[in-house]
Structure 1
């Protein structure tokens, strides 16, 4: 009987998780519930890519650093690597993270030229200024940008994530949408605006003013924008173009979509 008690105790003890243990669940490491914070020093960062679970908040400051908040057995598996000024946030190779608490990143940089989100986490950023800004969303995660002033800005969306920008001012703005994610620009303007839509996502920029605009819509997604001088439209899908202003309009339509003045 004593032997049976000893065996039972050993089995029960083995089921109790410890803070430093990695619990593998369905090929991934499950978080232990113990949240920890780690500060990592950075230098000369001009681009960031979020490639793992977690939400990223970007701030501007003179001292560049990354603060990671995650469960203690997962935080060591979160890699922040820098190559040619690009900071990539990802899980350790061959590892899948199964957090039970939110993963959060707080990044402070002097400036940024590129933002990339390939995962399901969201990115929030303040007003940014750059000679050129490249933004790419390929997953389900969203981007919320308070404002942007740029010489040339490129937005590329291939997933279901949305990009929202409060105010955008640029010499040139290029938008490429091939997924279901939407682009929403509240206000601003550009000398030239170019949009290529082949998915179901919409480009909502009714408060954005462009001197010249070129729109090619081959999917079900539509575009709304204010144009002052010239608007060129090629519509081969069901998505339409709604425009404000009084531009010279040239429309080529082979689909069911239409170009309409608001």
Structure 2
């Protein structure tokens, strides 16, 4: 009896949760709007949109997409971080070949994150002393950077690609995602993979590499010092 009651309650909660979500289908009419915000030094994006980072005056965000969808996209700055997301309990359904595209200008940024199934890339190089990038979900990030210290983190099945130069790289993969760093020149590299994901890195001076699970780490370069450990069926190779 208790089991039956619990199952009924669970099904009710699931049904109620789905009923609370509102699906908005695109009307096919493409438009472009510009929104103003205060300055920011970090960018946090969520959803299934395309995000393009360009050098420019911070606070002038351009949204392109179907006219009845853009009003449900929130653009706000909290604690010097630009947050872009869909309103709570709203599911946007763009028409085929009519994606929502959001262009974000930047001057000085130190952190970029993407959650969901969207794509994010930059047209202009990001220059920073310390730079962090985090990807969660099934989305993809491709960034060209110049930084003294770089941290790249993946949680989920997405792909993170970094290009450019850094002195110190910390790369972490949790899940089935992949870290592509063969085009990121790094002197000192610390890389860890937990799960079935893969990581590709460059290290010219030192390497610390850890694998837990079935993932693989591949590295390029001839580091003077190497510290590698594998727990599971994964591998570390040069």
> Which position in structure 2 is the counterpart of 1:242?
237
Provide the rounded CA distance (Å) in 2 between the counterparts of 1:86 and 1:161: 23
| Gap runs ≥5 in structure 1 | 1-23, 244-262
Distance 2:89 2:125 in 1: 36
- Cα distance in 1 between the residues matched to 2:119 and 2:90: 21
1:63/1:85 CA distance change after superposition, 3 Å: closer
Q: Decide whether the 8 Å contact of 1:188 with 1:209 is kept in 2.
A: no
Q: CA deviation at 1:188?
A: 4.1
Specify which structure has the bigger relative contact order, considering alpha-carbon pairs within 8 angstroms and separated by 6 or more residues: 2
- SS of the residue corresponding to residue 181 of structure 2 reads strand
Q: Give the corresponding residue for 2:35.
A: 40
1:25-56 Cα distance to aligned partner (Å, 9 max, x none)? x7311111111211012332211111122100
Query: Shift in Å at residue 82 of structure 1?
Result: 0.6
Q: Give runs of ≥4 in structure 1 deviating > 6 Å.
A: none
Q: Please give the root-mean-square deviation of Cα atoms over the aligned residues, in Å.
A: 1.9
- 2:116 is matched with which residue? 119
2:139 paired residue among 138, 141, 155: 141
Matches within 5 A, 1:168-207: 169-205=165-201
Cα offset for 1:192? 2.0
Contact 1:60 1:111 in 2 (8 A): no
**What does residue range 1-262 of structure 1 map to in structure 2 within 5 Å?**
27-62=22-57, 64-100=59-95, 101-125=98-122, 126-145=124-143, 147-167=144-164, 169-205=165-201, 208-225=202-219, 226-243=221-238
Provide TM-score, normalisation by structure 2.
0.85
Take 1:99 and 1:203, find their aligned partners in 2: how far apart are those partners? 33
| Distance verdict in 2 for CA 1:187–1:73, change over 3 Å | closer
Deviations 1:1-21 (A, max 9, x none): xxxxxxxxxxxxxxxxxxxxx
Aligned residues: 216
Greater radius of gyration (CA): 1
**Contact between 2:117 and 2:138, CA under 8 Å: does it hold in 1?**
yes
Deviation of 1:63 after TM superposition, in Å, equals 5.2
Change (3 A) 1:241 1:35: same
The normalised TM-score by structure 1 is: 0.77
Q: Is the 8 A contact 2:159 2:178 kept in 1?
A: yes
